[in-house]
Chain A
Amino acid sequence: MATKKKPSSDQGSSSSALDSSRWEVSCFWERRLQKELMSLMKEPPPGVTVDAEGAGQNLTQWIIQMDGAQGTLYEGEQFQLQFKFSPKYPFDSPEVTFIGPNIPVHPHVYSNGHICLSILTEDWSPALSVQSVCLSIVSMLSSCKEKKRPPDNSFYVKTCNKNPKKTKWWYHDDSV
């Protein structure tokens, strides 16, 4: 095959993830992400929109638009979620943060976008997916009764690692 590509070293280049010959060389995580991307585009859950083009260009980093659900404190707001995947995905959880101008004010969301959600670290399971993570976050926002930052927000934001997965989370009560 003349068009054979190296597996993953050139994820950034525009043709890599879209190349039709990709299939033959793509590995576990790529094929799984492609499947997820397809199903997200085909049947997006309400209020969730994936930037499929960007994701198609670079499978390791997705941007997802999320609308605050109706009848909740976040109704009418729009948020952006960033997913970063490692080649160990789905055996390793994705790195998920809020980005952009509007970080939801929520007791489990720090102002730098980090989210305190157990399925994103120790409760991760390969049976989870981008879609199920999104739904968890939507429901986390929806169940919020008072818009406020976590109590340790300013300390955490100053001291934390850029990657939220490096944080040793102490999970608060799940009811909030």
Chain B
Amino acid sequence: MKVTIKSWTGVATWRWVANDDNCGICRMAFDGCCPDCKLPGDDCPLVWGQCSHCFHIHCIMKWLNSQQVNHQCPMCRQDWKFKE
């Protein structure tokens, strides 16, 4: 007997490769979306700081916009710089 696979459709769930499950700002799952979004993934992506902490982009932007002077990472208070 010879079995030939003609095609294989698998099922997978995607997830962010992040150091935590939840966003430190909104407390929602990274793999979900921030409270202001409806759709996860491309529509509510994560961003990383150089300090290696990550957040929903919408959450960290809200934080940075609310700060007039110091732009610090909410987790480690280091100056926030987007990781290239």
Contact = CB atoms under 8 A, between A and B. Distances in A.
Given A27-B35, A31-B26, A36-B27, 5 more contacts: A28-B26, A32-B27, A35-B28, A125-B74, A127-B24
Interface string A109-139: 0000000000000010111110000000000
A88 interface: yes
A31 B32 CA distance: 14
Contact of B74 (A26, A35, A126): A126
Interface in A21-48: 26-28, 31-32, 35-36
Contacts, number: 40
A28 B36 contact: yes
Contact of A125 (B28, B36, B62, B72): B72
A127 B25 contact: yes
Contacts of A95: none
